[in-house]
Structure 1
Amino acid sequence: MIRQGHIFIASPLRFGVRVELERTLASMTSSPGQAEPENWLVPFGRLKRIHVARFVVLDDPSLRDRIALAESLPVTEPVRLAFIADYDGGDAEFLEALAVVAGPGLRKIFGFCIDFEPRTDLIAWMRAHRCRTAANYINWRGRGTRQIAEEAALHRALRAARLAHRTEDPETLWPILAQAGQAVPLTPLQKMPLLHRLGDIAHFLLLPVLALVLLPLIVLGLLPFVLLLRRREKTDPVLAPVPDRERNRMLSAQEDHDITNQYSAIGSLKPGRFRRWLAVVILWVIGWGARHIYRKGRLARVNTIHFASWTFLDDRRRVYFASNYDGSREAYNDDFINKVAFGLNLSFSNGLGYPRTDWLIRGGARREEDFKRYLFHHQIPTQVWFKAFPGLSNYDMARNARIRAGFEARPRGRALRRWIAEI
């Protein structure tokens, strides 16, 4: 099983460089927001271990909400440039490979940040500006870029052979397909190293052990928690402004260039320690669940997300959310509202202005119009976004994995018929 990593690097911008930075980032794209794999600054296509990556300017359009809704929060926060990537392998080897392939380009881009100088040690700077992600979701843990590429090639070869030999007899078709498949090199799937397995087991046990140890405190604190939560839920202000058409056109211009889209959103947490630490605990539990429960193709009942992450900023006053998903933005939102509204409420209800919830999981996203307006209010453009496998959805990757497993198992009878139907 391939080890996978996630990195979030961010630093405030120098004064007055925003226009030049966005012009530079735009030079990396072939269409709005869509990275050219062999672009002149960061040729993502040469980094075979990357699944998805993005450069995004973290300029929060919702900061003005603090003036009306949360006077205890500062009305300004720094505008940052962020680089975010999901990849195979360890962090150190990824940063080294990134510096080798794109060192000069990264220096040019990060040179717009306040503390990056011409002689700055690039790798040390990236490590120093890494932000720890509060929760990270991977659609299928351990499915690496090499596996995806090889299984897609296998599917193409088998499909071409099947279309070229239109026979209804599976037993006659199998030798033809087997010959076509043998021409595609398949790297043996790796098993998770023992040390990583032990680490996973230890991390899995952490939540139940903590819950057991803290059970007396949880029981004692449950009533005060519920009373405080309900008081906040009944009085927290809601803000769901009507979407601006021009801004919607700008965001829409970056979408639907492929079967998969990107999503970036940023916003403030509701003021006070209660909401802040509630968000910390909830996102930690979401990260735990993504690592141990939702690791094979689905986040609850939603199977369209490739990667997603939540990251705290500014001493946990704000949260940035990044997602990579199949389908349109509208379908993505509807999928969550209809299937896992409670999960949306857990994830985002501590955000300033979020539609009113009841008992933390009811209401909220179920107030569909307010919820969609709230999401749009916090969405920001992603200046550069890269996906290693354009045209491949999560469904395609899962199907290709099943085809590979069937091919290697050499099915017979009904199993052979079912396998051929997948091709």
Structure 2
Amino acid sequence: MSESETLFFRTSLDGGALAAARAPDVLDSVAARSRTPPEAKAVQQNALTVFVKIRQGKTDELRVLLESIGKNLHTNPYIQFGELTTTHFCRFVIVPGDPDLDAPASLAFASNFDGDLDAYLDELIAVARRGLDAIYGLCDGYPGSSASAGAVKDFLRQSSLPYGAFYKGHPGLSHRWIKNDIDVRHVIESFLQEQQKTPGWPPSPSEIRTRIQAHLAKFPGLSTALFDRDLPTWKDALPWLIPASLAGIVALPLVIEAAIVYAILLRYHEIRDKPDSLKANFPISHLTVLEDQTIQNQLTHVVPIKPGLFRLWTLKGVLWAINTLAYYIYNQGELGGIPSIHFARWVIIDGGKRLLFFSNYDGSWENYLGDFIDKASTGLTGVWSNTVGFPKTKWLIYEGATHEALFKQWTRAHQIPTQVWYSAYPDATVPNVLNNTAIRGGAQGSLSESKTLEWLEEL
């Protein structure tokens, strides 16, 4: 083995030993789980947003109930979150009313889940029926605790809202695959920690990998299967993109005329926009106390949309563009260069009066907003320039979020506390998830010496 390879194993495997030392019983816990390996195929990750009006006078009672659940995610008597086998993230959050917009106080339930909505709702109702009865019993329209599961399912479905844009940081990977890959990595790290104690360590990279493969075979509940994540590319958009482009070329004079008219109207609205005084929904202390409890964080944000159909339809168009780019282009773990977002979505609520934003991300709030400013300011400005109080913009996508201090103040002013927030894998970042997937894939079959070394470097 070369000197550089020896140095690599000494440093990287020490790092792996530290990771394994944080979970000394990982081998026993993985081996003790009674389960079959996940099916080796990509899964469609989906989003559900249930939005219902809170019953008159019940907001405070609902807040107390939700906070009791949120503070005891794994021991509360209402929802056994750990039994939700297809849920990546979910939250319950009270969205305060806005009397100026005649928008009532409402409850939002936002979930990121795998597969079919019907199957997801069946599991949610089976696992969380007591919680759903208690929570939605304080909201309008709930059929009641004596209602059938089918009636509850209809209520949730009929109360759901479509998203305007939805981003996934690790598409194609189910909840089960992500947790499988975390376990695979932990098993490998624990094994290497023990192997370092054996005489003659380290052997060649290929021998290390052979030993790892043999060790993984002792855990039949884990899988190292390879499968295609079936990620869309820009080529998949051609069936509708080409006809749309041809139609645009045919109608080019009209398109140019429409673009000129739109640009004039846009600047007219931007010039007439008046600065709004920032009135925070909640004190910052009510928000920061919920942050930085793990390496992951959440953000719920609600803001009025500027009045008029022009702003509403501009917002819908920008959201459509972001959703399209997120589906076909930004599906490799980064949104506009931001590598820390697991899931994010924008939802228009209250009949077009307000915009609701949910995000599940890694790292601190400051770093997250900094990434927005440095790497994705044009897209975010394109969205939120159509909402009240956003920093002054030009031509829809310029300036706006680049006014750092104003943008951060505006974000905090319209951020609201999330009473219940659950993550199925709270200690994994987006890069961790994707890296673990690469590690699992590299444990299958044979590799060249150089590829083997690259694979070990992933550890």
**Normalising to structure 2: TM-score of the pair?**
0.83
Residue 131 of structure 1 corresponds to 161
Residue 110 of structure 1 corresponds to 136
Q: Whole-Å Cα distance in 1 between the matches of residues 81 and 136 of structure 2?
A: 16
Match status 1:182 vs 2:217 = yes
Match of 2:31 in 1: none
Deviation at 1:410, TM superposition (A): 2.8
Q: 2:58 aligns to what?
A: 17
Asked whether the equivalents of residues 165 and 173 of structure 1 are also in contact (C-alpha less than 8 Å), the reply is no
Q: How much identity, in percent, do the aligned residues show? A: 29
Q: Which position in structure 2 is the counterpart of 1:68?
A: none
Question: Could you say what secondary structure the match of 1:411 adopts?
Answer: coil
Q: Following the alignment from structure 1 to structure 2, what is the Cα–Cα distance between the partners of residues 107 and 209?
A: 49
Name the residue aligned to 1:343: 379
- Alignment of 1:87 with 2:113, yes or no, is yes
AA paired with 1:6?
A
Give the CA deviation at 1:192. Answer: 7.3
Tell me: CA distance 1:242–1:75, structure 2 relative to 1, closer, same or farther (3 Å).
Answer: closer
Determine if the alignment matches structure 1 residue 98 to structure 2 residue 121. Answer: no
Report the AA paired with residue 102 of structure 2.
Answer: T
Q: How does 1:199-218 map to 2 (within 5 A)?
A: 205-215=239-249, 216=251, 217-218=254-255
Partner of 2:17: none
Deviations 1:323-353 (A, max 9, x none): 0000010110001101111111112111111
Q: Give the corresponding residue for 1:285.
A: 321
Q: Given the alignment of the two structures, is residue 389 of structure 1 paired with residue 430 of structure 2, yes or no?
A: no
Q: CA deviation at 1:209?
A: 3.5
**Structure 1 gap segments, 5+ residues each:** 65-73
For 2:193, give the aligned amino acid. L
Query: What per-residue deviation string (whole Å, max 9, x for no partner) do you get for residues 114-172 of structure 1?
Result: 22242552111111111111111111211111111111111111111222223343233
Matches within 5 A, 1:191-230: 205-215=239-249, 216=251, 217-230=254-267
Q: One-letter code of the match for 2:440?
A: R
Query: What are the within-5 Å matches in structure 2 for residues 3-82 of structure 1?
Result: 3-30=44-71, 36-59=73-96, 63=98, 74-82=100-108
Aligned AA (1:137): Y
CA spacing shift, 1:383–1:212, aligned 2, 3 Å: farther
Q: How far apart, CA to CA, are the structure 1 residues paired with 2:121 and 2:112?
A: 12
Task: Give the drift of 1:409.
Answer: 3.9
Q: Are the structure 2 counterparts of residues 314 and 212 from structure 1 closer, same or farther at C-alpha, using a change threshold of 3 Å? A: farther
The 1:398/1:248 distance shift into structure 2, 3 A limit, reads same
Question: Residues 243 and 276 from structure 1, CA distance in 2 versus in 1: closer, same or farther, beyond 3 angstroms?
Answer: closer
Q: Distance in 2 between matches of 1:207 and 1:250?
A: 46
Shift of residue 204, structure 1, vs aligned partner: 6.3
Deviations 1:360-385 (A, max 9, x none): 12100111111111111110011100
Q: For 1:271, what is the secondary structure of its paired residue? A: coil
Q: Show the counterpart of 1:2.
A: 43
* CA deviation string 1:55-111 (max 9, x = no partner): 011115xx48xxxxxxxxx54311111111001110011111111111222011111
User: Is there any run of 5+ residues in structure 2 with no aligned partner, and where?
Assistant: 1-41
**Which stretch has the larger CA shift, 160-169 or 183-192?**
183-192
- Segment drifting more, 289-298 vs 204-213: 204-213
Q: How do 1:369-384 residues align onto structure 2 when only pairs under 5 Å count?
A: 369-384=405-420
Cα offset, 1:207, TM superposition? 4.8
Of 157-166 and 321-330, deviating more is: 157-166
Find the residue that maps to 1:322 and give its secondary structure. strand
8 Å contact kept, 2:101–2:353: no
Cα shift readout 1:389-412 (whole Å, capped 9, x = no counterpart): 021111111110111121114323
Quote the offset at 1:420 in angstroms.
1.2
1:19 CA drift (Å): 1.4
Q: Aligned residue for 1:237?
A: 274
Amino acid of the residue matched to residue 159 of structure 1? E
Aligned equivalents of 1:339, 1:171: Cα separation in 2:
40
* CA-CA distance at 1:314 after TM superposition: 1.6
Following the alignment from structure 1 to structure 2, what is the Cα–Cα distance between the partners of residues 177 and 187? 11
Residue 141 of structure 1 aligns to which amino acid in structure 2? P
Q: Could you state the TM-score of these two structures normalised by the residue count of structure 1? A: 0.90
Deviation track 1:260-281 (CA, whole Å, cap 9, x = no partner) reads 1010000111111111100011
2:442 partner letter: G
SS in 2 for 1:133: coil
User: Cα 1:37–1:49, aligned 2, differ >3 Å: closer, same or farther?
Assistant: farther
